[in-house]
Structure 1
């Protein structure tokens, strides 16, 4: 599609409500009009009949590590990084993600597929890609170790990678989401680590003193400030932990483990982020804070895909007793605002034309995706199959 596109007869979700029989007009890469479908069609516009489907802004995912599984679909089987990125990009577009922050773990453990070298490889591929469907960006997750922080400093200062978000993480038993039993179970059962390896990792991660960890956090915070990008905390368990990150100018709290931490982050004016899979499946995988409980307490601002992009599409359609617009804001406007992308995440005149048409029943599925005004995906009933994978509009399109 080029020029003007008019999406008519949809349930158009704006930041403040739903236009039940609405229209969205796109001109080039911007939204030009949002209003009632009764308005006179724009001359010479390409008309898309949404036929009662839900029309939302493109989803903004500020934390998704799914590229790791496309890169290494099985232990020992590694896919070319460009192919992995292309596959992840298309898988995300299929569920309406138009801005993707790939959460890349700078954590040195090559046998687990997560290594500093691997993180640098993926970060360069994401930063330098110019043929993706969505807007793909780099979220650097720095483990609290000297090697990891050294590598993050090297990447940020090199100029080879455009880093758009920095966060700090420290997975150790009793510090974060796992007690010792759950830490061992996670790494032995879910990641297939042998017991002796788990013991070595526990020993290494517990060696860091409190003062050393705080020094490492301060180094990452200084990097974020110098690069002019947001800083996020990760797995805060207590109000005191939130306070320490807030003092380092963190503006985002990812995955608070307790209601206490989530409330403190909210009180501090931080953006609180939780995983969409937590909401969709009805609870935390590790018996931490329930996303639904956080929603009910009004202490969660953003949902991210975490490890499962389809959950980001499903999340706004989970009934929480809130207006649909509030649920949609958590995966569109709110995350965009949290990372300083004020040009997108909302269906309003002047905003970037990232638009998604969703059929919510029987399960939410995406029928059309526009990224900066370009149609990058079309599916659904009006799609006719022709030889060699080409597609044309069906009758009435």
Structure 2
């Protein structure tokens, strides 16, 4: 059985940062913190590094770009999954929920059949993966054709998180038609006629959305799959998704809505790129303002896995919170929100998802990664 002792690191625990603490790993789990007996354990010296839990990313759609790096240019799905797996490990992410959009009125990889193929490819690649790769199925609720695809994936056990999103202009992320047209035009490089067709079909398909959501939510709950809501824009929207069994509010667009979500018991999720850039790409609330107001529970990679670690390492200075509190936004909190009680915290008995980080010219770099006690990445950076 795999048995090793991580020594001389600065260790980020749930409530404190400890210098020169030893962590014993046995098999897939953390066996002990500062153990008395370590006979037979291989020592790994982490002097100069910070040891923290592996990051948990509940929402990242970067895999879609691995599959389709340019509009209409598609790579083999196993290659795309392998590349995303390695990129996430290099970013210190040990559990990732690949966000796949089921939005047939849109184009490219967001076609329902194509998105289903990608979901199954993720599931198949997991047998060879470095880290824990999961599927976050994002259902565009104005799409009347997606339900059979999602029901099938839920039945196969391929989906691990289901979210409801509504990108109809006039609410949520896109509060006017022109903003949504610009988004589609830039994303899909398509013409005015195609954009008009997408908008018209979305409006027509809005009828019946609630019944489709209720049926999918029931199927998710039956299988123990966590439910999220996307771009919530009001306390009334929070009440509606809470009735469906949602436990996560992704990217609430204002403080009032984020506060309502937390009051209702939903975990709030914001984008780490928003922290690094200091603003939202769609002009909504800054993630930093949510942290400052105490209404942010989790951060996610959104479209950039590499943004997670540097964003939280900056938060103690930007937001005046402790390093353990900042790290919890990308470890313990998202793990708990998704119902994963076995990870996200360095504690005896937990899954041994761990990362060793070195500061290089002021930038945190991941040097070592262990996923369920198994080495997933080894690199070396010159000291700062």
TM bracket, shorter-chain basis? over 0.9
Q: Which residue pairs with 2:292 in the alignment?
A: 296
Q: TM-score, normalised by structure 2?
A: 0.94
Q: Which residue pairs with 1:10 in the alignment?
A: 9
The answer to whether the 8 Å contact 2:107/2:188 transfers is no
The answer to whether the 8 Å contact 1:6/1:41 transfers is no
Q: Which residue pairs with 2:308 in the alignment?
A: 312
What do residues 245-297 of structure 1 show as CA deviations (whole Å, max 9, x unaligned)?
01111111111011111010011011111111111211111110110000011
Matches within 5 A, 1:188-267: 188-209=185-206, 212-267=208-263
What do residues 162-196 of structure 1 show as CA deviations (whole Å, max 9, x unaligned)?
22111111111113201212111111124322121
Q: What is the total number of aligned residue pairs between the two structures?
A: 375
Structure 2 residue 356 is matched with structure 1 residue 357: yes
Q: Distance in 2 between matches of 1:311 and 1:235?
A: 20
Q: Which residue pairs with 1:113 in the alignment?
A: 109
- Provide the secondary structure at the position in 2 that maps to 1:101: strand
Deviation at residue 371 of structure 1 after TM alignment: 0.7
Q: Which residue pairs with 1:273 in the alignment?
A: 269
What do residues 295-325 of structure 1 show as CA deviations (whole Å, max 9, x unaligned)?
0111110111111000112122013211100
Structure 2 residue 335 is matched with structure 1 residue 339: no
The answer to whether the 8 Å contact 1:126/1:137 transfers is yes
Deviation at residue 213 of structure 1 after TM alignment: 2.3
Runs of 4+ aligned structure 1 residues displaced above 6 Å come to none
Deviation at residue 117 of structure 1 after TM alignment: 0.9
Could you say if the C-alpha distance between residues 188 and 110 of structure 1 is closer, same or farther in structure 2, counting changes exceeding 3 Å? closer
Q: Distance in 2 between matches of 1:286 and 1:381?
A: 36
Structure 2 residue 371 is matched with structure 1 residue 371: yes
Q: Which residue pairs with 1:156 in the alignment?
A: 154
Matches within 5 A, 1:375-386: 375-381=375-381
Between 175-184 and 117-126, the greater mean CA deviation after superposition = 175-184
What do residues 81-111 of structure 1 show as CA deviations (whole Å, max 9, x unaligned)?
0110000000000011111111111111474
Q: Distance in 1 between matches of 2:205 and 2:80?
A: 34
- Provide the secondary structure at the position in 1 that maps to 2:146: helix
The answer to whether the 8 Å contact 2:138/2:165 transfers is yes
Q: Distance in 2 between matches of 1:97 and 1:123?
A: 19
Return the match for 1:139 from 120, 136, 141: 136
Q: Distance in 2 between matches of 1:47 and 1:225?
A: 44
Q: TM-score, normalised by structure 1?
A: 0.91
Structure 2 residue 69 is matched with structure 1 residue 73: yes
Q: Distance in 2 between matches of 1:69 and 1:100?
A: 15
Between 87-96 and 196-205, the greater mean CA deviation after superposition = 196-205
Structure 2 runs not aligned, ≥5 long: none
Q: Distance in 2 between matches of 1:53 and 1:155?
A: 41
CA RMSD across the alignment: 1.6
Q: Which residue pairs with 1:393 in the alignment?
A: none
- Provide the secondary structure at the position in 1 that maps to 2:193: helix
- Provide the secondary structure at the position in 2 that maps to 1:83: helix
Matches within 5 A, 1:172-183: 172-178=168-174, 179-183=176-180
Structure 1 runs not aligned, ≥5 long: 383-397
Deviation at residue 32 of structure 1 after TM alignment: 1.5
- Provide the secondary structure at the position in 2 that maps to 1:78: coil
